[in-house]
Chain A
């Protein structure tokens, strides 16, 4: 059975939606970071699947590798910030960080 591009896009959109809802609903910064990773992975699904339907070059697959590499760099910076936050607040709940309100 051959799946069309639509099936892959539907799957990726569901994955993206789960990530976006997770990011907006959860208040634990680590879980929010994981939700972002889920969204980036849904991007990779679209890129790799779309490449199969545009087979002139490997742009989509190469792009997916770059996304993976950058996601790792993003996680490194993000975790460093969260560690600094934990040292100050002893928790990483985003709604408990509110020094910056006027």
Chain B
């Protein structure tokens, strides 16, 4: 029985998904389902972090699963990040659905199933589990975006994300099939060993690797594979946008890390002259620059946050590229960044939900004018979240950026210049993040403007309190979370 210990969080999420689906059929009070969802995802996250912090040796999985799912600290770390994002999104969704009279239980089932898919993806050590996790997550997310099916925006966002997402999945899969054709292995370790042995057709490996990287870059929303991001983020309901920006992104980066370190190590594929580092640098620079510049021009705060998430993907890709040189510090920086990004983003999107109410949703800058003076208690969490996304000390986001850029500087050479580009791009970011704060605190709403009225919801308020506390705690005392990230990264590199 103890063989299963390391995937207990995964099993908890799977069973609670089935239970919530059943409970939805019999329950009249849908808001309770939000609580059940949040509690079960939260429990799974706490179990993961407990296993991680206890530092005990993890027993290997039974042989039938052994080569498909990873048993390591990295997966537990991502279990924690993904479950945290899912649980907080479910709480926010509970308040949102009640306020906007959209109460249907499917959304909670979809949140749990998407979380499950994301955890499988983050844990996958084989192209097969990668594909299944990716599709379980993506199909649930497509349905979550289209949840408000009478809204033209929601359905259009879902349609664009679905078509482009399936296209990208097909590209990733073709790349994976080519890697299988070249190496005869579908497990990452086998692929990596075979490539290292040099008995492979280099063209097949190169094309396969590039196609896999393109598919993953699509999922994390890196330029030039970002076209869906603003539309899907704007079309989806705000709690769903929050979920997409944290859980989906974290899982995609988890498998990114694992593929690069396990399946594509060594001189042939991981050097600056031939291999993935230059590809990642290209994606990273484009994402940092384009994401930040395009975010400045937006009228909608949700769209602005969507472009800013593209920029954040760029910073994280910079860390991944630096991992080819310095290894552990870069990977632990990326892990900490994803944790900080999760709590800050939930805080920003959750307070955006809280600021609006039925018929008076807050989406544009104009909706937010003067909210800070009229309702300071609702504006405060938004401001903290945005400052953390900006990387303002002493929030969690500051240390996330610090560790990633620091790793790039340690990597030396051209990476120092990349860190400089990243810092300049963040300075552009500071402009639009601070602009929201200024609009909230100093601007008055125009004559005749519909003024956003904050909703009252214990669920949303508690989600904000938890994520706000996390942003401050990880900012003031980053060492605890950083130690977990460092041990996970060390175990991965071995």
Residues of A within 8 A of B (CB): 5, 9, 12, 16, 19-20, 23, 29, 32-33, 36, 39-40, 42-43, 46-47, 49-50, 53-54, 56, 59-60, 62-63, 66-67, 70, 73-74, 77-78, 80-82, 84-85, 87-89, 94, 97-100, 102
Contacts and interface: CB of A to CB of B under 8 A. Distances in A.
Contacts of B489: none
A77 B143 contact: yes
B420 interface: no
Given A63-B128, A102-B300, A50 B180 contact: yes
B181 A46 contact: yes
B298 A5 contact: no
Interface stretch (B72-80, B149-157, B473-481): B149-157
A47 B177 contact: yes
Contacts of B150: 88
A85 B127 CA distance: 33
A5 B417 CA distance: 44
Contact of A74 (B139, B178, B181, B184): B139
Contacts, number: 132
Interface stretch (B161-169, B334-342, B344-352): B161-169
Contacts of A42: 174
B298 A81 contact: no
Contacts of B181: 5, 9, 46, 49-50, 53
20 contacts: A12-B177, A16-B174, A20-B171, A43-B173, A50-B177, A50-B181, A56-B184, A59-B128, A60-B180, A66-B131, A70-B135, A74-B139, A77-B143, A81-B146, A81-B158, A84-B155, A85-B155, A87-B149, A94-B160, A97-B159
Contacts of B127: 63
Name the residue among A5, A46, A53, A94 with the largest chain B CB count within 10 angstroms. Answer: A46
Contact of B235 (A23, A36, A100): A100
A63 B186 contact: yes
Q: Kindly name the residue among A16, A56, A84, A85 whose own CB sees the greatest number of chain B CB atoms within 10 A.
A: A84
Interface in B170-215: 170-171, 173-174, 177-178, 180-181, 184-186, 204
A38 B393 CA distance: 50
B166 A36 contact: yes
Q: 6 tightest A-B contacts by CB? A: A54-B184, A50-B181, A39-B170, A46-B177, A100-B231, A84-B149
B178 to A, nearest CB: 7
A78 B170 contact: no
Contact of B159 (A16, A29, A56, A102): A29
B225 interface: no
Given A50-B181, A59-B128, A59-B185, 12 more contacts: A20-B171, A36-B166, A39-B170, A43-B173, A50-B184, A63-B127, A66-B132, A70-B132, A74-B139, A77-B162, A100-B160, A102-B300
B173 A99 contact: no
Contacts of A67: 131, 173
Contact of A81 (B131, B153, B159): B159
A54 B187 CA distance: 14
